[in-house]
Chains A and B, each alone.
Chain A
């Protein structure tokens, strides 16, 4: 126990463990973001997380829970609004993303007694990771990974061809809902690390990097996890030695890995 204890007492190791836990689920979910062209959608959910924080303070809920609830409500609203086709999806997402962020900031300003580290929320505060945060991350990651394994074929089939999947009896709508819930969960826990403005980067960049080298969807998922872990490790190291902000350093490392991969490999056949 003493070794584990001393590891967990060190803020650097806590940050690393938390970051790796997030990379573990950001890999597969990032692949779905890339495959389903949901990048802007992920951004919108992430922006709304700030509103979740504000509401948690207002109703004294745990922060993670507040963020999750707002993300889920917004995800459901997006799905039903995009069906009416009154506005183009990207317009709708643009409206909701920035409105949610702005409303969050306004609501927070109404509560002067609440001291929030806005920079930490927007850009992440990885080095302030607590033991409780670690518990949340690994609990969330465990749930997401179990769901992904159980629902993998159906999720993949409905991503490849939704109508074909539907005719073959895949519960497409239900799976879409589960995927949204998983996104909400990951955003709630990943916000701690890279902040609401950079979460999408953590989902997309490792997956896009993996695409270049992958032959099968599953292969791409494992590579995305590996690149995510590399980004977390590299970013934290950078932050440690150069005293740079941790969250942005992680994203910069991921980006460098992306550039390197695209610069040195030919497109996978």
Chain B
């Protein structure tokens, strides 16, 4: 196996002594798609900020491959109303030639907005712009913080599909935070359920049965996930009940998980 693009070892982040992220181990390789899910305040954003180097870690180590190019898609793009800026100029600030910028915008479906003022873009268009901005730098690792925010329901599925295609085209690793469980599961290789520590991780089918997952998200979410998965790979037993392909394999489970979440 090749060296990981980024490796987190026993990473903890505390704010004024309050833990936000605890003892997280994680390696992202080329071709991986990781989705981080978890309740509010679970430290999801803190974790990916530590991963890209925006957040200093209190303990543990973050190793990035030398020369690693990260395409970062932050939660939102808020531009001061006093700053006149159109899409083309924002893209050219990446230092890439105009043709590349145009191609990246076309790839994310907003090629026609090259001359538009960013203040006039909708939420979904802004997310696509941020994705194009990350993409134009030909990243080795794509890091996205809730990329589907403000995108309508049809757009969301398309956006996750696009992210998956980009992974194949660029042969990059992807790690993202998402709340859209049902959409993400379809387009995701691995799920990390975070509740400060890694509660559980693995393939969607596995963690939907994981007691830690059910504990965090409740039965209804776990069931809808399982149903979605069933719909996705069409496995049935004789009674028409859902059978997960991987039911025999237990999901990887966080070592520190005692299901005792305050």
**Interface of A with B (CB < 8 Å)?**
34-37, 153, 156-157, 159-161, 163-164, 166-168, 207-208, 211, 214-217, 219-220, 268-269
Contacts and interface: CB of A to CB of B under 8 A. Distances in A.
The binding surface of chain B is classed by DSSP as loop
Given A164-B72, A167-B52, A167-B70, A216 B94 contact: no
Given A166-B54, A167-B53, 9 more contacts: A160-B85, A163-B49, A163-B74, A167-B70, A211-B82, A215-B86, A217-B83, A217-B89, A220-B83
A160 B90 contact: yes
Contacts of A163: 49, 54, 72, 74
A35 B74 contact: no
Contacts of B94: 168
17 contacts: A35-B80, A35-B82, A156-B93, A157-B93, A159-B83, A160-B83, A163-B72, A166-B53, A167-B72, A207-B82, A211-B82, A215-B84, A215-B86, A217-B84, A217-B85, A217-B89, A219-B84
A208 B48 CA distance: 37
Interface of B: 49, 52-54, 70, 72, 74, 77, 79-80, 82-86, 89-90, 93-95, 117, 120, 133, 137, 143
Given A153-B95, A156-B93, A163-B72, A214 B84 contact: yes
A52 B86 CA distance: 41
Contacts, number: 60
A166 B70 CA distance: 11
Contacts of A34: 80, 82
Nearest to A268: B84
Nearest to B116: A269
A153 B49 CA distance: 23
Contacts of A214: 84
B248 to A, nearest CB: 41
A160 to B, nearest CB: 6
B93 A153 contact: yes
A167 B72 CA distance: 7
Nearest to B80: A35
Contacts of A160: 79, 83, 85, 90, 93
Contacts of B120: 269
A34 B82 CA distance: 7
Nearest to A153: B93
Contacts of B54: 163, 166-167
Contacts of B93: 153, 156-157, 160
Nearest 10 Cβ contacts at the A-B interface? A167-B72, A214-B84, A35-B83, A34-B82, A167-B52, A157-B93, A35-B80, A211-B82, A216-B89, A163-B74
